[in-house]
Structure 1
């Protein structure tokens, strides 16, 4: 009998699916989730929105999610309308739809790794060739670096992430403009963590006008504490959004998902207070780890990238033994830490105190660089 593996597409054979360690420990700071549960008053509003849909679940949802898109456009501002916004089951589905429409067999998508690890997986799943242009020595991207990579590889789609995961660094407008000017195809700015930016004005939404090939993707998973609901959205030229309808599945966004998202959007102001607290805890992590002599990059996301580790995997295990789960993203001498609640942050800092006291040989500051604006020597 033929093995299932033999029936699988050749480019998928031997591959493993996306995943992150899910361990039962007291403090989980590894997947960049919002550390705060939905507040009771916000939950009550969401429940009201949901209750209006329950009795009509025998009917299909609004195929185009018009009411939700109107609410999302109002939330984004920038003069955007319902025709400029599209929504799906998490930003991953949006990225997949973009590749289904503008990528595919014989086409390429250009990424700049290390970055969001789903980008090459989504490319593979849609039969799109993924090209990794890498990054500069300090993991940043300059306009010249991006422009040269696009000129060299001539991609059909370009993926840029701002703030970037796992580095936490945001892109300047000059980098976005350079990418758009150099590319002949679609330029996607993945802004999953945009609400955590130190300068909210840095969003690529500012660059949309007059750029019909530019796309800005967002998610409600992070700032809205909505990871379990799976709601992503994008902003782009209305003509581009029309093309995405060619590949979307019918009724892809359930009535309950649309209703829950609208309830959360109605409470955006309340949820922003928790975003501000997470930004405070993120900056607290940076300040305190630096005070311990550990180099940490400034971050515009809800996580930080820690360096100066002689053995990142050993530090990860040692911190885990203290009941704190962080993320080994595979970068030499570096680990990623999600910002948590005040109590979780205290536990994290205490864990590092303990590990540094017991295992000082695991830490080596010369593995890092002074800042993300200076090259490694």
Structure 2
């Protein structure tokens, strides 16, 4: 170990952000273990690396005591003062015991410590990078499948797409690019574990932020997202500028923006509705693409009664109740839907849609 090694550590400090002095302290600690292991010493020793030259010294340490019981650990006051008259009881006397071939052991140990610390530092940097991207969008390449988990290559790290976060009906081919929503970043001994999702409503929100400049700039705001992954989603939008149409902004010229999102979601249908602070208007909008004739709301119980044309009833409810179920989720309201022909008597037809998405007819 020499001055060139010290310079290499300084260069490493600049490139990787690893403090060279902390690295040297770690090497010194590792060399103490290496010395004791290779030379069978029971002495207390200290390893000192000169910060400018890289010279290494192994120093045996003995404490100054009145009566010596272990010569390997202790030294008498008389003997200590024979070395230096300034020694007092309790002081530590050091003597160099550097072995002749210790340089080879030191080089191997230093390499192991440096490599380990570089890995730890890189893991730390990757963790810090991705912990700040929780609830954000990442783009990865499908690398492999481990059991039912899909592993995405994010460049500097890998992400795990668990089966529960895989969208129904989607298949993932090795080498294809994929956008995913970062659910959680965990710190582990093997580096950061990044969990991503293709089913989270936040994925749709981030995709629209990516495709719609008005959302990115804060002119148009996403007020709510309801999703049944792989099938259909609803997104409620609001414009802070009355001159800007929030729905039109999200649809884009000739539907280009929404189609880009649908393509990334592999055909999942997306309804874009206009948010309103008027519950009746919001509920009516939420049942799009069905046309609503009238909405009565009970704000205290958050229940709404909706009248639709007879020929729009199945469209308002949707296949297996999907449209009404998503409307209830995005508005947070319980929605009762009735055809116009039966609007006069609510008791004659009871379609009760709860927020859990179940429909019961009596």
User: Scaled by the length of structure 1, what TM-score is found?
Assistant: 0.23
Q: Higher strand fraction: Structure 1 or Structure 2?
A: 2
Q: Higher helix fraction: Structure 1 or Structure 2?
A: 1
* Bigger radius of gyration: 2
Q: Which has the higher contact order (CA 8 A, sep 6+)?
A: 1
